[in-house]
Amino acid sequence: MSEAEKPLRYAADWIARKKQSRRIVVVTAYDAAFARLVARSRVDAILVGDSLSMVVQGHRSTIPVTLDEMIYHAQMVRRGAPDAFVIGDLSFGSFQKNMDQAIESAIRMVKEGGVNAVKMEGAEAHVLDAIRHLTAAGVPVMGHTGLKPQTVMTTGGYRVQGRSETEKKLEDEARALCQAGCFAMIFELVVSAVATRLSKDLPVPVIGIGSGAGTDGQVLVLHDLLGIDDSFQARHVKRYVDLAGLVTGALNEFGDEVRRGDFPGDEHSFS
């Protein structure tokens, strides 16, 4: 196997991919069944994102999910994809209090969740301090800037970032995350031109979501790209299959066969 074909195993592999100008593909997963399917695909890494608060738990934001729940889902993903590079999101409330809390939460995610790296939103002073401490201790940290769903209550909702009034703040945060030691970072809903420029300038991979094609890779919520929730519409999402329609059709066919007495047939019965 050539160097270019090797799977991601360590944080350093991400930076090597950037140097090779090879884009990185990331999707979310929240359980063993989907993680197993992702592991069989050409996707490079799995993010156990706090988006599970909305996608799996049915909440209206990412705020309610707890660290214990994130660890629980990370454990499922690890069992389904034992060899994958898995990143565990630190949930709202698990690292905002102070640096000590952030470090403790990250270590729990790694030890109990079995992840290869953790992800933290924002670039506040204590977050940067925690990133420095964790990376020095051997815990890889992925940053997250641009739109930060955990803070939408104070930033005015889900707005595109990087326009004139937010471009400097975005750039300052991205550079601070690099200096603190992040091996990669997510840009969420960032103006394409800004995301492209910073991706070229920054030494670590920038993984975009809703941030144009000029980043070093892309991440999407698995349920969005599979079309599991056909009521969800977002400009940055491409639906690659209508899984909601396929599942509904299969369930209806099962129900019809049961009502007609066609299922179970002899081939599904025992004598």
CATH (domain of 82): 3.20.20.60
Same-domain pairing of 263 and 223: no
249 shares a domain with 211:
no
Please check whether residues 158 and 247 belong to one and the same domain.
Answer: no
> Which two three-digit tokens encode residue 270?
């025992």
188 is catalytic: yes
DSSP conformational letter for 22: -
Q: Which of 188, 253, 257, 267 is catalytic?
A: 188
Segment 22-46, tens digit of pLDDT: 999 999 999 999 999 999 999 999 9
Same-domain check for residues 110 and 235: yes
According to the model, what pLDDT value does residue 6 have? 81
Closest Cα partner for 217 from 176, 194, 182, 186? 186
225 and 269 part of one domain: no
Residues 54 and 151 in one domain: yes
Q: Same domain, yes or no, for 221 and 254?
A: no
Q: Tell me, yes or no, whether 234 and 249 share the same domain.
A: no
State residue 14's pLDDT score.
99
**What size, in residues, is the chain?**
271
3-state secondary structure string, 52-121?
A: HHHHCCCCCCCCCCCHHHHHHHHHHHHHHCCCCEEEEECCCCCCCCCHHHHHHHHHHHHHHHCCCEEECC
176 alpha-carbon distance from chain centroid:
21
Mean pLDDT (the chain) is: 95
Q: Are residues 215 and 264 in the same domain?
A: no
> Are the C-beta atoms of residues 163 and 135 closer than 8 Å to each other?
no
pLDDT of residue 159: 80
The pLDDT of residue 195 is 98
**Same structural domain, 261 and 189:** no
**Number of domains composing the chain:** 2
pLDDT average, residue stretch 66-79: 99
Question: Is 0.85 topped by the overall pTM?
Answer: yes
Answer yes or no: do 254 and 163 share one domain. no
Same domain, 106 and 33: yes
Domain with 264 in it: 242-271
